[in-house]
Structure 1
Amino acid sequence: MTAARRQGPIKEPLETRIKQAAREAGFDIARFVSASRVPDRHDALARWVGEGKHGQMGWMEDTLERRGHPASLWGDVKSILVLGQNYGPEEDPLAALERKDEAAISVYARHKDYHDLIKKRLKRVARWLVAETGCEVKVFVDTAPVMEKPLAEAAGLGWQGKHTNLVSREFGSWLFLGSIFTTLDLAADEGERDHCGSCRSCLDICPTKAFPAPYQLDARRCISYLTIEHKGVIPLEFRKPMGNRIYGCDDCLAVCPWNKFAARTAEEAFHTREALRAPLLKDLARLDDASFRTMFSGSPVKRIGRTRFLRNVLIAIGNSGDVSLLPEVKSLLEDEAPEVRAMAVWALGELGTSEEVVAEKERLMSSEEEADVLAEWARIGG
C-alpha cells in the first residue's frame, strides 16, 4: 500500500472548506482578510463623531475606541471571515416613491429582521470551524461595534462607494454583512478597489443633500437616520424631501449603476411580505400600539415604536396632497404622543383649508400644550 493510500484522501485547503461551509449555511459570498491588513479607521471615525455627524446615535461615541480596528475589539484576532447575503429586491425601490398614497419602506425592512437569520448562519459556520480546528471565534452582525463595510472592502466583497455604502460588482447594493473573528492565521483574499469612477448618481439623488462630499455622510441629514434613529420632531427642512418614505431610504443604493448585475435574492425569508409591499398611508395612520406591534412583528420597523412610526406616516400624509386623508390627520391631533400631535398639526397645515385649520386650532389648542405642538400651531397660523 502506498503512503498516499495509507493517509487517505487529501483534504482541500482549510480556506476552501470554510467557504464551502459558508455556502452550505446559506451565504452567497465569503472571503478572508488578515486583521493586520485592515486599515485603522479610529482617527477618521473620531473626527466624524467630533463634528457631530453621528447625530443622536450616542452608541457611536460610546463604542468609538472599540470600532476603529478589529484588534481594538478583540486583541487575539488574526483573521476575519467576512460573509455576505444577497437581499436584492424584486423591483426598483424608487418606483414606490411615485405612489404618494402608499408608504415607501426600505428594502431591508420589508421582511423579517435579517439580524436573526444572519446570526444563526454565522453561528453555524463558527461551530463548524471550532469543531474542525479548535480555534477561538467571535461572531458579529451589524449591532456589534464592528466597521463591517471597511472589513468587507479589505476582504474583497466590494468597495465603499461615494455614498459610504458597500457596492459589489456581483450583487450591486444589496448585501447583508456578517463576520467571524478567529485566532486562525488564514490566507487572505485580495481586497476590492474602488470602481465608482466619475459617477455621482448616489450623491446627486439624495433628497436632503446628506453627502457634504464624496465618501462623506452627515447622518443628521440622512432620511434613513431621520426616520429611524432621530428622536422627537423632525426638522422642518427635511419633511418635504422625505416624501412618502416612512422607514429608511434606498435612493442612493437603488440608483447605483452596478445594480444592473444584481439579482433578486433566492432567500425566501428576504422576499417582501405582502402587507409591507405597498401599505396604504390611511391604514397605517389607524394603527394603535397593539396593531402596530402585530403588523410589524419580526420586522426591523417594530423597534422604532408606534410614536416615531406615526410621526413619519403623518409627514408622508402631509406630502401626499391627498385631502381624503384629512380624517386620519384630524384623529391624530389628539394622540397621546406630543410628537405625533405636532406632525398631525403640520399635516393639517399641508392638506387642510384655512377654515379647517382655524376650527381645529380653536377646538384643541391650549396654553398647556407641549412646546413642539405649540410651535407647529404657531407656524401654520389660523
Structure 2
Amino acid sequence: MTGIAQNISKRTELVRQEAHRLGFDGVGFARARRLEREESRLEQWLKEGRHGSMQWMENHFDKRVDPRKLVPGARSVVSVMISYHQPDLVREQLSSDQPKISKYAAGDDYHKVVKEKLFELFAFTESVTGKVEGRVFVDTAPVLDKAWAVEAGIGWLGKHTNVLSREWGSWYFLGEMILDAEFDYDEPVADHCGSCTRCIDACPTDAIYEPYKMDGSKCISYFTIELRDEIPEEYHRQMGEWIFGCDICQDVCPWNSKARRGSEERLFARPESADKDIDYWEELNLQEYRELFRKSTVKRAKFDGLKRNIRIAAENVRSRDMTFVNVAGKLKKKQK
C-alpha cells in the first residue's frame, strides 16, 4: 500500500470515528459522480407530474444528479445519518385517536441540529486532510440525499422510498458533505425488503403506486406540508388524524419495529406538543402556534396550512366518533 493510499485509509477512519463521536449513528463514503440511473428516474417522475405543485423540484436538475455541479472538483460525498427514533412515541401515536404530527417533526428543527454537527465534522475533516473545498447539506439544497445514502452504504432504498437500515430502520435524518478530498469508498448494502408489501398495502392514498416508487402528489405528507391550496376533498377521509406529515408506511415496516432508539435528545418530542386533543388544536391561535413551534419544522406548513389540516382531522375524528356511537347504539338495541 502506497503512502498516499495509507493516508486516505487513515483519514477515512478518522473521519468515521469523529462522526460517531459527534453523535451521528452512521456514516458512509461514496465517490462523487453523476447519478445516471437516478437521473433517468427523476426525469420520468417529473414528466409524469408526480411532484404535484412542488415546482422547485424541477429547478437545478443538473445539480441534483451531479454533486460536482454544486462543488466544482468534488471527489467525494460523505453521507451521515442520525436517529430520531422514540419507541414510546411510536406506541403512543399508534394507540391514539387524536391529531398526529409526523415523528420527525416532534422535536427541534433537524436542519439546525444536523447541520451544526456537520459543520463540526467538516472542520475536523479539514484538520486531517489539509485545506478542503466543500459544502455541507441537510435537506435544503438540490442533493439526492437518499440516493447518496444508498451509494455510501448507509442502508438500502425501501419499497416506501425511505432508506432502511437493519439496525436503525428508517427513523433517521440524512446529511452530506460534498468535498474535493478522497476517501476509501463504501459499497451499497443488500436490499432486505424481500417479498414484504406492508407499506404499499397500508398507504391510504395509494401514493406508493409500485414498489420503490412514490407519487408525491398523492402523499399525505405532501397534502399537509407542501400543498398551499385546498386539499382535494376525495383525500380528506384518507388523511385520518394527520395534521402534519404522515408515518403510516414507516409505522407498519417490520424493520422499524426492531429499530434502535436514538440518542440525540433535541430531536425527541417536546412535552408541550404531545397528547393534545382535537379541541386544543381547533382553538390554537397564531401566537400559540408561533410559541409552540418556535424551533420546529412544523412551521413549514404555515399557520393557515396547519389550521386547514386541523379542520380536516376534526371532521375525521368526529365522523369516526359518530360512527362508533351509532354502531354501539345498534348493538345495544339488538341486545335488548
In the aligned structure 1, how far is the partner of 2:238 from the partner of 2:289? 25
Query: Normalising by structure 1, what TM-score?
Result: 0.78
The 3-state SS of whatever aligns with 1:246 is: strand
Q: 1:222 to 1:94 in 2, by over 3 A?
A: farther
1:14 aligns with 2:18: no
Match of 1:41 in 2: 38
Q: Percent identity?
A: 38
User: Please, which moves more after superposition, 65-74 or 293-302?
Assistant: 65-74
Q: Answer yes or no: is the 8 Å Cα contact 1:38–1:151 preserved in 2.
A: no
Residue 283 in structure 1 maps to residue 276 in structure 2: no
Q: Distance in 1 between matches of 2:152 and 2:36?
A: 12
Q: CA deviation at 1:93?
A: 3.2
Corresponding residue number in structure 2 for 1:229: 226
Does the residue aligned with 1:115 lie in a helix, a strand or coil?
Answer: helix
Contact 2:34 2:65 in 1 (8 A): no
- Go from structure 1 to structure 2 and tell me whether the alpha carbon gap of 1:39 and 1:323 turns closer, same or farther (over 3 Å shift): closer
Q: Given the alignment, which residue of 303, 311, 315 partners 2:312?
A: 315
Change (3 A) 1:32 1:103: same
Q: Retained in 1: the 8 A contact 2:9–2:183?
A: no
State whether residues 202 and 256 of structure 1, in contact with CA within 8 Å, keep that contact through their aligned partners in structure 2. yes
Matches within 5 A, 1:227-376: 227-321=224-318
Deviation at 1:151, TM superposition (A): 0.4
- Report if the CA contact (8 A) 1:103-1:281 is conserved: yes
Counterpart among 106, 113, 129 of residue 117 in structure 1? 113
User: Tell me, what secondary structure is at the counterpart of 1:258?
Assistant: helix
Amino acid at match of 1:251: I
Report the equivalent of 1:192: 189
Determine helix, strand or coil for the equivalent of 2:87. Answer: coil
Q: Indicate conservation of the 8 Å contact 1:34/1:79, yes or no.
A: yes
Match of 2:103 among 98, 101, 107: 107
Q: CA offsets per residue over residues 35-57 of structure 1, 9 Å max, x none? A: 13855522211111111100111
Letter in 1 for 2:228: K
Contact 1:94 1:250 survives alignment (8 Å):
no
Output the CA distance in 1 between the equivalents of 2:316 and 2:13.
52
Change (3 A) 1:233 1:94: farther
Q: Structure 1 residue 132: deviation in Å?
A: 2.4
Residue by residue over 1:218-249, the C-alpha shift from the partner in whole angstroms, topping out at 9 and shown as x without a partner, is 11110011000011111011100111100000
Matches within 5 A, 1:70-219: 70-91=67-88, 93=90, 96=93, 98-100=95-97, 102-133=98-129, 134-219=131-216
In 2, are the aligned partners of 1:97 and 1:104 still within 8 Å (CA)?
A: no
Residue identity opposite 1:67 in structure 2 = R
Instruction: Determine the structure 2 residue equivalent to 1:58.
Output: 55
1:285-309 deviations in Å (ceiling 9; x for gaps) = 1122111111111011122111100
- Tell me how far 1:92 sits from its aligned partner: 6.0
* Separation in 1, partners of 2:268, 2:186: 31
Find the residue that maps to 1:307 and give its secondary structure.
Answer: helix
Change beyond 3 A, Cα 1:191–1:307:
same
1:91-117 CA distance string (max 9 Å, x none): 3637525533x2111000111111101
* Contact 1:40–1:68 (CA under 8 A) maintained in structure 2: no
Counterpart Cα distance in 1 of 2:189 and 2:9: 25
Q: Deviation per CA, 1:144-193, whole angstroms, max 9, x where unpaired?
A: 11001110111100011111111111100112100111111211012112
CA contact (8 A) 1:96 1:103 kept: no
Contact 1:94–1:254 (CA<8 Å) still a contact in 2?
no
Q: Is the 8 A contact 1:206 1:252 kept in 2?
A: yes
SS at match of 1:45: helix
Is this contact kept in 2: 1:105–1:276, CA < 8 A? no
The residue type equivalent to 1:131 in the other structure is S
> Cα RMSD between the aligned structures?
2.2
Which structure 1 residue ranges, 5 or more long, are not aligned? 1-9, 326-349, 351-382
Counterpart Cα distance in 2 of 1:323 and 1:45: 39
Whole-Å Cα distance in 2 between the matches of residues 11 and 31 of structure 1?
Answer: 14
- Counterpart secondary structure, 2:308: helix
Q: Which deviates further from its counterpart, 206-215 or 68-77?
A: 68-77
My pick for the range that moved more, 259-268 or 148-157, is: 259-268
Q: Which has the higher contact order (CA 8 A, sep 6+)?
A: 2
Residue-by-residue CA offset, 1:53-106 (whole Å, 9 max, x unaligned): 001111101122211222233331111111110111223637525533x21110
**Aligned equivalent of 1:347:** none
Q: State the alpha-carbon separation in 2 of the partners of residues 70 and 208 from structure 1.
A: 33
AA matched with 2:120: R
